[in-house]
Amino acid sequence: LLHSNSQSAIFEGNAAKDDEVFKQAVSDLNLNDDILQSEKITYSIKLIEANNPFHAVQEGKRRGTGFAILVSFVS
């Protein structure tokens, strides 16, 4: 049996792993001057409402990035 706290802990664990992978990818890209030349990639993480892709799109537009990345976890 999983309690609601266990579900939250599983999600937080997955989010932490994904954050590390994303940080490494950004770091690798930032080091590659042949591809990016003088531009650097920045990112920020914002928690959005569960099961609400509209919120993710609006957040991307609000930040002026023109895009949003929506990551969904299914257990």
CB atoms within 10 A of CB 56: 18
Cα 59 off chain centre by: 12
Task: Note down pLDDT in tens along the chain; length 75 residues.
Answer: 444 445 555 666 777 777 888 888 777 766 666 555 656 556 566 666 666 666 656 665 665 554 455 555 454
- Residues 1 and 36 reside in one and the same domain: yes
Phi and psi at residue 50, to the nearest 5°: -65, 140
pLDDT, position 60: 59
- Residues 35 and 54 reside in one and the same domain: no
Task: Tell the residue number behind the tokens 């531009």, with chain if given.
Answer: 39
- Residues 14 and 33 reside in one and the same domain: yes
Q: Hey, what amino acid is at 30?
A: N
Could you list the residue range(s) of the whole structural domain that residue 67 is in?
47-75
Q: Could you tell me if 75 and 10 are in contact, meaning their C-beta atoms sit under 8 angstroms apart?
A: yes
pLDDT, position 4: 47
- Residues 55 and 74 reside in one and the same domain: yes
pLDDT, position 20: 82
Q: Could you tell me if 59 and 48 are in contact, meaning their C-beta atoms sit under 8 angstroms apart?
A: yes
How many separate domains does the chain show? 2
Q: Which pTM does this prediction carry?
A: 0.32
- Residues 34 and 11 reside in one and the same domain: yes
